[in-house]
Amino acid sequence: MRLPAESISRVEAILQEYVNNPPEDSDFRFEGKPEDYKHPYWDMVRELKDDRYMASLPGYLAVPILQRVLGDLTALGYQSADEATDDLEALWDKVKLGATEGPLEAAVRMAERFPVRFRTNRLSKIYQRFLNIAYYLQVMRGDDYIALPVVRLAEILGVSPMRVSDYRKFAKDEGFLREVKRAHHLSRLATIFKFVGVVAFAPEIKTPAVEIEGFDPCCSYKSVDHTDHS
């Protein structure tokens, strides 16, 4: 997959903005509580991930692109290129969302970019897409529970809210979803779920190399194992 010139221009503009106007907390040393720490370039990575081509790349593919576009990552305040590579790769993989998207939007993006084939007795291709969105939403949320809003998903999938309710029931019956807590309409709380069954159903996902003109950040692909070993 070739990275479009528009994406490269966007990446260049964002990086240059942070070089010219570094965050106030550009000192990477932090002596407070770990939970209080926010990486100085967290917002920068979120802005970079607003580009749909950059958004779903893992750090080992994204950072070489940043290096190529910027020319020298130490311009961001690092002491060495190795320090920049280590720090930005870890940060890139921690940041799950673009600056203008929520978890559900990110899950839809991931489902479209890297669809997983789930073994199911249902014939519907839209149901497969629903499972993908639920799966990637769980990836976005980590160990937290997920919500699968019927009306919003109906708009995304192009079906009726009743059909989404059917999909949620199918997914529970087949063991993909576990209902944690039912909706409470008076308090406006949605039904929450946990996506399960990843070990049995999710195949190995292969991430293709991304090319920009005159540069190949990775000679092949790297396998990404999303298996849930919990």
Least confident of 74-78, 81-85, 106-110, 174-178: 106-110
Alpha carbon distance 40, 38 (integer Å): 6
* Domain enclosing residue 147, as ranges: 103-196
Residue 26's CB is within 10 A of a number of other CB atoms, namely: 12
Q: CB under 8 Å to 93, separation ≥6 — which residues?
A: 58, 59
Q: Do 131 and 179 fall into the same domain?
A: yes
Q: Is residue 229 part of a domain?
A: no
Q: Do 84 and 113 fall into the same domain?
A: no
Q: Do 151 and 90 fall into the same domain?
A: no
Going by the DSSP 8-state scheme, the letter that residue 184 receives in this structure is B
Report long-range pairs for 102-109 (Cβ below 8 Å, ≥24 apart). 103/137, 103/140, 103/141, 103/146, 104/133, 104/137, 104/149, 104/152, 106/55, 106/136, 106/140, 107/133, 107/134, 107/135, 107/136, 107/137, 107/139, 107/140, 108/133, 108/136, 108/156, 109/52, 109/55, 109/56
Residue 76 has what pLDDT? 93
Alpha carbon distance 148, 123 (integer Å): 21
Q: What is the mean pLDDT of the chain?
A: 79
Q: Where are the beta strands (DSSP E) in the chain?
A: 146-147, 177-181, 192-195, 205-207, 222-224
Q: Is residue 201 part of a domain?
A: no
Q: Do 49 and 135 fall into the same domain?
A: no
Q: Is the model's pLDDT at 206 over the cut of 60?
A: no
Residue 33 has what pLDDT? 56
CATH code at 156?
1.10.10.10
pLDDT top residue among 155 and 211: 155
Residue 181's CB is within 10 A of a number of other CB atoms, namely: 11
Residue 32 has what pLDDT? 53
For the chain, what is the domain count?
2
Average pLDDT over residues 158-162: 96
For residues 104 and 146, is the Cβ–Cβ distance under 8 A? no
pLDDT band of 116, cuts 50, 70, 90: confident
Q: What is the pTM of this model?
A: 0.61
Q: Do 86 and 150 fall into the same domain?
A: no
Q: Do 138 and 63 fall into the same domain?
A: no
